[in-house]
């Protein structure tokens, strides 16, 4: 939990950790069932103790096992009081490496004391529809935890993929997007996670970023009142034409 202490020393209200970071990596396959936990459960209680100690929010990824034994790739966010503030089950499964996870079926948003947020996971945000639905539901920030790796886990160059996808989701919806990506080598995948975590404002501008795949922490301050004003001034949602968009759900 040294990263939590470091973020607290930096004055952070929210600290994020990557996809599945609480469940021993990414390439366990069926063995995820052995490390998966209920939510809430032992791991979320441990996170809650640290969140309460530092009066901050903590967001992280883990394998979740429900009462039926079904396993999901999930994100949890615990609040300043140490209680579970929300959880989300990944809805878009990357089939080459995630076929052992069940599909989530909901796109929730969560009201925190500074903003309403959504916590999509990795592949979810490669689909613009996901971000749009979450923002239509009231999300003012997209806090996404990921495990992008070289090759199969990205399209084109790693740097261009990361910079384009997350800036696009921010600009399309006029909301800040925060990306926390994993780093390091996974022997099961025989691949390197690319890092490049970043904090992007609602103009699609990068406020802070990790320059490469090293382990580290980035911090930025977002003026959410200013972000809301920018969203109102150049308002994509006001000018939408929903009657034209039926084919999004009708066409395969």
**Catalytic residue numbers?**
19, 90, 122
Angle at 64 between CA 62 and CA 65, to 5 degrees: 155
Question: Cα-flanking dihedrals φ and ψ of residue 194, to 5°?
Answer: -95, -5
In the block, residue with structure tokens 């909301």: 175
Strand, helix or coil for residue 44: helix
- The helix or strand, by DSSP H or E, that contains position 50, with its residue range, turns out to be helix 42-54
| Cα–Cα dist 181/198, whole Å | 9
Helical pair 128-136 and 158-173, crossing angle rounded to 10 deg = 30
């Amino acid at each position: 939990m040294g990263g939590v202490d470091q973020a607290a020393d930096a004055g952070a209200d929210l600290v994020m950790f990557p996809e599945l970071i609480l469940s021993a990596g990414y390439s366990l396959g069926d063995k995820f069932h052995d490390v998966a936990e209920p939510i809430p459960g032992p791991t979320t209680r441990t996170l809650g103790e640290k969140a309460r100690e530092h009066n901050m929010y903590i967001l992280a990824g883990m394998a979740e096992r429900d009462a039926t034994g079904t396993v999901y790739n999930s994100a949890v966010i615990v609040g300043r009081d140490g209680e579970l503030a929300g959880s989300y089950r990944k809805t878009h499964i990357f089939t080459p490496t995630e076929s052992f996870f069940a599909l989530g079926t909901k796109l929730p948003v969560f009201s925190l004391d500074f903003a309403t947020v959504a916590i999509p996971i990795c592949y979810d945000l490669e689909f613009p529809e996901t971000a749009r639905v979450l923002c239509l539901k009231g999300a003012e920030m997209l806090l996404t935890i990921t495990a992008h790796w070289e090759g199969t886990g990205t399209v084109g160059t790693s740097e261009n993929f990361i910079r384009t996808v997350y800036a696009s989701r921010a600009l399309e919806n006029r909301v800040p997007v925060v990306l926390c990506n994993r780093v390091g080598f996974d022997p099961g995948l025989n691949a390197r996670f690319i890092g490049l975590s970043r904090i992007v404002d609602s103009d699609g501008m990068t406020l802070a970023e990790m320059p490469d795949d090293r382990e580290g922490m980035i911090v930025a301050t977002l003026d959410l009142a200013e972000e809301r004003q920018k969203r109102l001034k150049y308002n994509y949602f006001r000018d939408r034409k929903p009657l034209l968009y039926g084919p999004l759900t009708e066409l395969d």
